[in-house]
Structure 1
Amino acid sequence: MNKTIFKLGIVSLSTVLVSACSSFGGSSLEKRSVKLAQGIQTAYAVPATTAQRVSPLIIQNADKHNLDPLLVAAVIRQESTYRSQVSSPAGAVGLMQVVPRYWQSTCGNDLYNDAVNIGCGSYILSRYHQSSGSLEKALGYYNVGPNAYENNRKMRKQGKKYAKQVLSHKKKLKSSL
């Protein structure tokens, strides 16, 4: 039990450090949003109007859930390439490709709404990070689900590949800032 409490403390501390060490410093939301929007446009070839619309939402929700905004932006790049109205064959919807049948009761009905979707996706990623103790594992959970990741070798491999792709998108975004 003490190991669990200690591990959770380390996870919480590392989460705070990751978000505090973001590339945006302590400037205002507006300044951080402008910088992130420019980075998203450059790194991912996203239209300025889209990048400017979602950047404040990314930063606010990343801050709220102790995540690095660059990570949330990278997940959006991987999941939807910044297309708000996209849905997957598995039923995932919106920018962060949230599956309504799993998350609607937690996040609400309007998962095509950018603010709701980014808020929900950030919540899910943060929750998975806390439960798994590892960013890479949390990303794998986000992609294939915790049970599939833990119990199916093929799904674990897919989740690890997904994590690698997201972290590559994050690195590209960071170099564009």
Structure 2
Amino acid sequence: MFFSHLLNPIKSKRSLFNSHSFKFSSILLSTFLFAGCSSLGGGSVEKRAAKLSKGIQTAYSTPSSTANRVSPLIVQHAQNQGVDPLLVAAVIHQESTYRSQATSPAGAVGLMQVIPRYWQQTCPGDLYNESSNIQCGTYILSKYNQSSGDWKKALAYYNVGPSGYENNRKMRKQGKRYANQVKQHKKMLKDSL
């Protein structure tokens, strides 16, 4: 396998270094496997976006005008961050059901329900803007996956935050439930392609 050498930890006398090397290698391999490798297949952004749009319309009963407008943004930003576009689409369905003006009592805004007060320095600009919101939400997912080394945990972090997940049993349970819901939405979308 082409990437098999990435899974072999760098030789070192310190086991701590080895475990970090292995974790980094696993994350790197995961990024290679997710980037551009989804049920959308290959081809241009336009081709993959058209396929995704049809899936979103079918799986989530989203209006064609919304799905056609948002799908290219999902494909492009997911590709840029090494995230499966089906996962991003599933998160959007879970967070806002594709309503770009959605707001939450916690102050989360837009398609991916980003909380500006936590992310304003990382994601400046109008988070009600669909492109900015998807770009920021996808970036957050990618960073959480890098820090946790696991997509399911990254989704839980996205819902309750890393410290909430790690320090509060109730929030951890809520985050895991959220991750399972997103996984179900992703499966529903994948099955509709």
TM-score scaled to structure 2, two decimals? Answer: 0.90
Per-residue CA distance 1:82-129 (angstroms, 9 max, x = gap): 000010000000000000000011111300000000000000000000
Measure the CA separation in 1 of the matches of 2:132 and 2:28: 24
1:154 matches 2:170: yes
Give runs of ≥4 in structure 1 deviating > 2 Å.
18-21
Residue 68 of structure 1 is matched in structure 2 by: 84
**Mapping of residues 67-86 of structure 1, within 5 Å:** 67-86=83-102
Instruction: Give the alignment partner of residue 133 of structure 2, picking from 101, 104, 117.
Output: 117
- Tell me the CA shift for residue 158 of structure 1: 0.1
Identity across the alignment (%): 67
| 2:115 is the counterpart of 1:102 | no
For residue 58 of structure 2, the aligned residue among 38, 42, 47 is 42
Q: Which of the two has higher C-alpha Rg? A: 2
User: Separation in 2 of the partners of 1:94 and 1:107?
Assistant: 13
For residue 113 of structure 2, what is the amino acid of its counterpart? Q
Distance in 2 separating the partners of 1:54 and 1:20: 18
What residue number does 1:173 align with?
189
Amino acid at match of 1:157: K
Ranges in structure 1 where 5+ consecutive residues have no aligned partner? none
- Counterparts of 1:19 and 1:162 in 2: how far apart (Å)? 23
* 1:6 and 2:22 are equivalent in the alignment: yes
Q: Partners in 1 of 2:45 and 2:93 — Cα distance?
A: 21
- The aligned amino acid for 2:150 is S
Give the one of 17, 22, 25 matched to 2:41. Answer: 25
Distance 1:116 1:10 in 2: 29
Shift of 1:173: 0.1
Letter in 1 for 2:102: V
Gaps of 5+ in 2: 1-16
Structure number with greater CO (CA < 8 Å, separation at least 6) is 1
User: How many residues get paired?
Assistant: 177
My pick for the range that moved more, 6-15 or 92-101, is 6-15
Deviation at 1:19, TM superposition (A): 3.0
The amino acid that maps onto 1:64 is N
Cα offset, 1:21, TM superposition: 2.8
